[in-house]
Chains A and B, each alone.
Chain A
C-alpha cells in the first residue's frame, strides 16, 4: 500500500489545483444559475489565476510575501501528508499552521481592512477547530485508525453512525471554505464590508498564491467529507454531491452573520451536533470491543 500512497501524494501536488479550480468553477456556474444569471465559463478560475500571476509583485512590506509563500507551502504540505497517509489528527494541526501564516501576512500590513480581516479569520479558526478535531476523533472511534486510506477502506457507512458529526462538519466547512453565512473574514465578493478583508492588501501573484492554496485546501477538505461515505461508490458519489450542493445552497440562501455571533453559533453546533453525537456513540461502542 505504501507505494501507491506516495504516487497519490505526488499526483495531488500536480493535479490538486486542477481539481480545486474545477470545484471553484462549478461553484460559480451553479451559483450563477441559482441567481438566474448565465455566469462565467467553467474554466474562469484558471483564467483569473493566470492573470494574477502575470502581474508585477508589489508587496506592502518585506514580510508579506514570505509569509504568503509559507502559507502556500504549508497548505500543500498538509495535503501531501494527508494523501501520504499520515495521522489525520496531526494534519489538522499542520493546517492550522498554514492558516496562521496567512493571518500573519494580513496582520503585517497593519492596514485596517487586513487587520480586521485577520482578527475575524482567527475568530473563525477558533470557531471551527473544535468541530474538526471532534470529527476526526469520532472517525477514529468508528474505523480505529487515523490513516486516510484505512478509514476509507473500512467500508463502513460512517454517516449512519455519525450523522450529527457529519452535519457539524459541513457547518464549519462553510467557514473554512469562506462561504456565506461565514464569509466574514474574506469573501469571494468584493462588496463585502471589509473589501476582501484578509486579502485586501494582497495583489497579483500574492493573491494568486492565496487562491492556489485555497484550491489545494478544498481538495482534502472534500476528501475528509468522503470518509463519511466510503462504504460504496454510489454512496461516495451521492454523499459528495449532496455535500457540495448543500454548501453552495447555504452560501446562496443565507445572509452574512455578525462576527460576534460566529463563534458562539459554531461552538453551540459543535457541542450539540458534535459532542452530542460523540458521547452517545462512545458509550454504545464501548460495549462492543
Chain B
C-alpha cells in the first residue's frame, strides 16, 4: 500500500518536474553499463531456464537458452556501442508514466482488499501475497524503465522484466490451468523478446547505433533501407506483447490470474508496452510494407476481438476480447502512422487504460458478490450491488458510447483514415464501421443485463457487505478519473499530444476545437441528465405498475400463473448469437489469418 502510494507520487512528481521542457535526454554515466546489461539479460535467461527445468517445459528451456545465447553473441555488435542518451522523457513517455503510476497504483490498492477475499475463497491456493505485491510493484517499476528508455538495450532489459513479472503473476494460483497459461504467455513473449534482440543486433551491426531516436532519424533519411529489418523485428516483438493475432491466446489465457493481475496486464502495463513501442515507431512504420502489414494485423485483431466478444458469457473474457480489439485499433493507427492516427492512438491508450482498469476491478468485486463470472449471473446487479453497478455502467459507457473517450477516438480515427490518400483507406473505414457497431452490441446487452429489475420492491445492496474499503476507494477513484479524462481531454491534446506531434511529424492534429467542446458538453450532459432525472423520479411516491405478463401476473419478481394455476417465474437471458459470432470459430480463423500476415512480415525481413 505504502509502496503503491510512493510510486504514484514519484510518477506525478516526475511529470511535474519534467513537464516544462520536453523532451529531455538523460545519460547514464556508468562505464560498466555494458556488463550490467549483459549480466541482467543472463540472469533473466537463467531464471527462465531454471523454472523451465523445474516444471519440465522443454520449449521454454530452449527459448531461455536461446535468449542467453543471443545475449552473448549480440555482445559482439552491441557491446561498446557509443550511446548519446540512455533515457528520454517526452510527452508520450510521461503519459505512460502517469498511467502506470496512477492506474497501476490504484490497482495495487484494490489488490490489498481483493487478495484478502481471494484467499478466503480459494483455500487451496498457497498464500504468497508478499511475492504478489513484490512482483506487482516490480512490474510497475519495469514499465517506468521501459517507457523512458531510449537505449534499446535498456528497453529490452525492462521488456524482458515485464515478461517475467507477468509470468509469475499469471501463474500465481499454482494449479495446472494457471501453469499452462503462464507458460503460454512466457513462451510467446520470449519469442517476441528474441525477435527484439535480433532486431537490436541488426541495427547495431548495420549502423553502429542502438538508440530509438537514432533509429527513427535514420528511418526518414536515405539510410532507411538499413533500418527496415530492425524496425520489422522490433515491431514483431511489440505485436506479441500487445496480444495481436496470431499471438492473442496468451492474453486470453492470462484470465486465470487473480483479477488485479488482469486489471494490471490489460490497462496500464504489459499490453500497453507493446502499443507504446509501436506508437513510438510510427514515423518509421508509416508508408512502409512493414507498416501496412502491422496495420492489417491490427485491424484484423480489432474485428476479430469485437466479433468474438459477442458470443462470450464470461465477464472477464468479454473484457479481455475487448482489450484485444482496442489494442488492434491502436496497432492499426500506429502501422499507418500518420500524425493524425498517432494522435488517435495516444488517446485510445489513455482512455482504454483508465476505463478497462475500472471495469476489471469492478467485475472482480461483482464476482465476489455473485460468486460467478457469468454475465447472466449479474442480471439485476443494480438491485443487489448498486454501487458496483454504477462503476460498471460508467466503465462500460466509457468503452462504447459517444461522447465518451473511446468513441470520440474511434470517430477521430475514422476522420483520419478518410484523410489518408491511400487505397487502404476505404477498407479501414469499412472495418471500423462493422467493428464499432458490434462493440455496441456486446456492451449494451451487458449493460441491459445489469439494470434488469424483476422486482422493484426487493431490498437493495444485499450482496455488497463483503466489498472492502480498498476496493471501493480504488473504484471510486478510477470512476472519477475515467470521467475526468473524457472532460479534460482537449487539454491533454493541447499541452501534451500536439507538442509531441509537432516535434515528431512537424504537424499537429487535434480534433476541431468546436467538435471537442461539443463532446465535452455532451459528456457533462450524459452524466447530468439521467442523474438529475433519476433524482427527481426517485423522490416521487407514485405507485408502480407491474410489467406486462399477458395478463397473468401473480406476484412480484415476474411471477405468473401458468396452466392449472401453477405459479411460474420468467427467466430471460441476453442474445449471444453463437451461430453468427461463435467465438472459437472466429478466433481460429483470426489466428490463421494473423499467422499468415506475420509470416509475410518475416518474409520481408529476410528479403
Residues of A within 8 A of B (CB): 57-63, 65-67, 69-70, 73-74, 77, 81, 86-87, 89-90, 93-94, 96-97, 100-101, 103-104, 106-116, 118-119, 122-123, 125-127, 129-130, 133-134, 137, 140-141, 146, 195, 200-201, 203, 260, 263-264, 267, 270-271, 274-275, 278-279, 282-283, 286
Contact = CB atoms under 8 A, between A and B. Distances in A.
Contacts of B414: 89, 133, 137
11 contacts: A58-B545, A60-B453, A62-B456, A63-B453, A66-B530, A94-B402, A94-B403, A108-B453, A134-B433, A203-B545, A260-B579
A14 B543 CA distance: 32
Interface stretch (B284-292, B366-374, B415-423): B415-423
B554 interface: no
Contacts of B574: 119
B467 interface: no
Contacts of B449: 107
Contact of B437 (A74, A125, A200): A125
A89 B434 contact: no
A126 B456 contact: no
B9 interface: no
Contact of A63 (B432, B534, B548): B534
Contact of A119 (B403, B421, B558, B575): B575
A94 B522 CA distance: 9
Q: For this complex, into which size category does the number of interface residues on chain B fall? A: 35 or more
Nearest to B557: A110
B484 interface: no
A195 B407 CA distance: 34
B411 interface: yes
Contacts of B580: 263-264
Contacts of A108: 451-453
Give the most central of A90, A125, A137: most B CB within 10 Å: A90
Contacts of A103: 444, 448
A275 B430 contact: yes
A96 B382 CA distance: 23
A195 B448 contact: no
A61 B438 CA distance: 29
Contacts of A133: 414, 429, 432-433, 436-437
A279 B525 CA distance: 37
A70 B451 contact: no
A56 B392 CA distance: 33
A90 B433 contact: no
Given A93-B407, A94-B403, A125-B437, A134 B542 contact: no
Contacts of B423: 282-283, 286
B529 A126 contact: no
Nearest to B445: A122
B606 interface: no
Interface in B393-451: 401-403, 407, 411, 414-415, 418, 421, 423, 425-427, 429-430, 432-434, 436-438, 440-441, 444-445, 447-449, 451
B544 A65 contact: no
A201 B544 CA distance: 12
B493 interface: no
B426 A58 contact: no
A201 B553 CA distance: 13
Contact of B534 (A66, A140, A260, A267): A66
B383 to A, nearest CB: 10
B421 A93 contact: no
A24 B452 CA distance: 32
B563 interface: no
A282 B426 contact: yes
A129 B439 CA distance: 11
Given A90-B515, A129-B436, A201 B548 contact: yes
B74 interface: no
Contact of B543 (A58, A65, A115, A195): A58
Interface in B529-579: 529-530, 533-534, 536-538, 540, 542-550, 558, 570, 572, 574-575, 577, 579
Nearest to A111: B547
A110 B538 contact: no
**4 smallest beta-carbon distances between A and B, as pairs:** A111-B547, A107-B448, A93-B402, A66-B533
B542 A57 contact: yes
B572 A116 contact: yes
B454 interface: yes
A114 B454 CA distance: 12
Nearest to A112: B570
A260 B548 CA distance: 25
Contacts of B421: 286
B175 interface: no
A128 B300 CA distance: 21
Given A66-B530, A96-B401, A110 B441 contact: no
B433 A61 contact: no
Interface string B35-74: 0000000000000000000000000000000000000000
Given A107-B449, A133-B437, A203-B545, 18 more contacts: A61-B544, A62-B544, A69-B533, A70-B533, A77-B522, A89-B415, A90-B515, A93-B407, A94-B403, A94-B522, A96-B402, A104-B447, A107-B451, A107-B452, A108-B452, A115-B448, A126-B441, A140-B418
Contact of A97 (B401, B441, B447): B401
Contacts of A93: 402-403, 407, 411
B530 to A, nearest CB: 5
Nearest to A203: B545
A60 B457 CA distance: 11
A124 to B, nearest CB: 10
A174 B436 CA distance: 21
A270 B438 CA distance: 14
Contacts of B29: none
Nearest to A260: B579
A214 B161 CA distance: 56
Nearest to B450: A107
A86 B512 CA distance: 11
Contact of A86 (B437, B515, B525, B550): B515
Contacts of A264: 580
A126 B435 CA distance: 9
B537 A65 contact: yes
A201 B546 CA distance: 9
Contacts of B537: 59, 62, 65-66
